[in-house]
Chain A
């Protein structure tokens, strides 16, 4: 019976990144994916003829350019295109735009507050400083502070040196930034509600916290530390939707000799004498592998795919307590024409940007109150965009795909499971919000895909539909991600590794967890990692 060198559970972007690096190191790698397609939460599917949706994740910035280069993703079709800035519509019929041009950006802010317009440079400087601090940590395995191995001491020293390089004021800012709420952070720079709302949205996306919850300032940083071709903080579209990322990864993997089996759901990991020996599929088929790497989140991996008896108590308890709460949903809409927004001039670049309707932090926090009460937000926060204004591959000419990320959506409704009626009510809250700003919007709808945490968990496998495979709060970052003592992609089970976003440096379509996990695995196998570019310099 064949034993693969490595079996990767889950064909999401991190699973595929991991598989690509291992295959290129000479291993014989199998990826098993439960769906009939690969991609996990980075997929593009045609659910209605002629329209391609970015079904889950919808924009690209965090995906590491080192990985794109190493795995030759451009050769396999990946193209990322920058888009225009964004806007928040205000309830008085106006809007606040973010323009890419620095001076247009300032003039736009000055329409609301001259003071805030001139505060932007200092805000931008401080956020950029934090990004530069964190960026080099993304492509490194976090040190284990309890270990005395030279490597961990070296990494700790590296972290310590980075801190020592900061002035007293910067150290204070860094620690505040990692722990404070995005609302409090923005209060230090801005005075205008809509301007604060405009920045605060990056602090709550994907997070079961409100803008007034401590820890959300870091979430903003997580959304700022990406880049599009060196333009740090910029966001772009993957041409062909986010599925283009995993499509390119799958093609790269196969081109280097890797094997993918779709429609192959793993029932459990085969473990003998405390060591992973392979996987057992839902149909009972056993597949043997010398190593097993799970791209699933740690709750799914260790509470569903591994028997409890194989795991130490403390580890199990921490996995159970790992925060991975569902907070968001997604509505994908096919439109037979471009919607109009009377507030926007017809020639506004904002049609090609991200759009939002939540014009105050107060409204965001109220939307979060609904989540706490176990309801979807009656006045939800939307991150909405129309990628087809820049990407001609996703809908026929003149027709459009609109992506709406929706927050907040709880994992359960009042303690019970979501029903189809709940899902329809959730969709209606979204459509009615858009329709208030875009007359005739409903009439343009050709088809709609509505995804509550229920649908996301059922299809993608993300526990509670949490897009980051676990909250990005400081207690779950660096050497505490996913749980203390297991931040280096290894698990208590020999030969069983983790490579999903539950691990450092966390969620978003970044690829870094998959890559870093591959580096650790190759280290354990004493294989060279010359095919892995080191992190780009931050100068």
Chain B
């Protein structure tokens, strides 16, 4: 037994990863140069910035100029084959047969009990080729679900670099950078463009509720793409940003984050934390007429038997103190839920929040809701009981996000 056998060289070359616990993304040299605060966190094992130089100003770059945000750590799967459409239609909630090539949709997928495994975006790159982007990792689930379909599923997170370019001048920057035809992209459209001898996929999508685009490029063309955008954006206020700023923008847009606003099914150790799509505001994705999809039976049964126990709502809270992780009460006394994200919205000039409530609160009973805010001020909690009103999401709606053709700012 033992050794003197030819070792798998690619596998052994990868051994050294233990020396770098937080990997850089393909954009890291540029981000490191701009990361004046050295304020990093781990995004799926990558060194990602909370903030580069000033989180307030980074937020305003999204809303006034254009912000460049590295989304490379997002999990990406390449799904391809003659059965790719049928397969994804079976795995995910929304009707994939209605997703035309060159389009993107926001979707989610569930386990057999109808509990949400994750949400994400599905890019249809051609009739038979898709890219699925998500927060968590799902390769075993996706591969097991592919049995019986002529489809291949490949994880391509490291091979593909991603950038979000978001904000009022984002269109003008892409046009000035020479992406001819980018003006034709409507919201949720995608197209492929030439870049540095390779192809960049640009979609009019984003996580900010603003005019914006997402760009995917082979990892070895990442830096030249970054430089191209920065050069084109110099006169239009382009700034690189970190997650804190993006997180504020997404909350104003009313968008949820997996494992922040709900717990994904493969990570929920406590089974009462599991959520069906209807319980986290994703019920609109369910199409009972489209044929079978994973979780369908359980979801429809829960609907029919009224067994949906939770609801995710937008709240407007009186005052201006953010209610992050505050407990929600009915009549100031009965605990009915928890705020998962909250902020004072500069764009709406309202104190907004996302909260998960136990039905019927937030569903049929929406009056007399309160949040108890524990605001730590100079080593003392200032306890505030503030009235909360259930309001529709998104909290802000910007015409420039959907304007066609998009404006210069």
Q: How far is the CB of B374 from chain A (nearest CB, A)?
A: 20
Cβ-based interface call for A391 (8 A): no
The answer to whether A104 and B18 have CB atoms under 8 Å apart is yes
One of B1-9, B59-67, B230-238 contacting the partner: B1-9
Whether the pair B3, A436 counts as a contact (CB closer than 8 A) is yes
Minimal beta-carbon separation of B140 from chain A (angstroms): 4
B267 touches A121 (CB 8 A): yes
* Closest chain A residue to B269, Cβ basis: A128
- By beta carbon, the residue of chain A nearest B17 is A107
Interface: A114 (CB within 8 A):
yes
B:227-284 near A, CB below 8 Å: 266-269, 271
B15 in contact with A94 (CB, 8 Å): yes
Partner of B137 from A118, A166, A379 at Cβ < 8 Å? A118
A107: B residues at CB distance < 8 A:
14, 17, 45
A146 at the interface (CB under 8 A from B): no
**A125 and B269 in contact, given A115-B143, A169-B113, A345-B15 (Cβ under 8 angstroms):** yes
Q: Are B2 and A437 in contact (CB under 8 A)?
A: yes
Q: What is the chain B residue whose CB lies nearest that of A189?
A: B140
B379 CB-CB contact with A under 8 Å: no
| Neighbouring A residues of B19 by C-beta, 8 Å | 347
What distance in Å separates the Cβ of B138 from its nearest Cβ neighbour in chain A? Answer: 7
How does the 8 Å CB contact mask read for B28-46 relative to A, with 1 for contact and 0 for none?
A: 0000000000000010110
B21 within 8 A of A: yes
Residues of B within 8 A of A116 (CB): 140
Stretch at the interface among A95-103, A207-215, A222-230, A453-461: A95-103
Nearest neighbor of B5 in chain A, beta-carbon distance: A92
B side interface size, CB within 8 A: 34
Q: A94-B15, A125-B269 given as contacts; is B139 within 8 A of A115 (CB)?
A: yes
Q: Decide if B54 is an interface residue (CB 8 Å cutoff).
A: no
What residues of chain B lie closer than 8 Å to A112, measured between beta carbons?
11
> If the complex has contacts A93-B3, A436-B3, are A104 and B139 also in contact, measured as CB distance less than 8 A?
no
Q: Which of A101, A125, A129, A436 contacts B2 (CB 8 A)?
A: A436
Minimum CB–CB distance from B17 to chain A (whole Å) comes to 5
Question: Contact between A94 and B18 (Cβ–Cβ < 8 Å)?
Answer: no
Which residue of the partner chain, among B3, B14, B137, B267, contacts A125 with CB atoms under 8 Å?
B267
A531 interface residue (CB < 8 Å to B): no
Closest A residue to B154 by beta carbon equals: A114
- In the assembly, what is the distance between CA of A189 and CA of B144, in Å? 11
Complex alpha-carbon distance, A132 and B270, angstroms: 9
* Across the A-B interface, the 5 shortest Cβ-Cβ residue pairs: A103-B45, A118-B139, A118-B137, A119-B140, A93-B7
18 more A-B contacts (CB under 8 A) besides A92-B8, A102-B45? A92-B7, A94-B12, A97-B18, A108-B18, A110-B14, A114-B139, A115-B140, A115-B143, A118-B138, A118-B155, A122-B140, A122-B266, A125-B267, A132-B269, A189-B140, A345-B16, A436-B1, A437-B2
- Offer 18 A-B interface pairs, CB within 8 angstroms, sorted by A: A92-B8, A94-B11, A102-B45, A110-B14, A111-B15, A116-B140, A117-B139, A118-B139, A119-B139, A121-B136, A121-B137, A125-B268, A128-B269, A167-B113, A345-B15, A345-B16, A348-B18, A437-B3
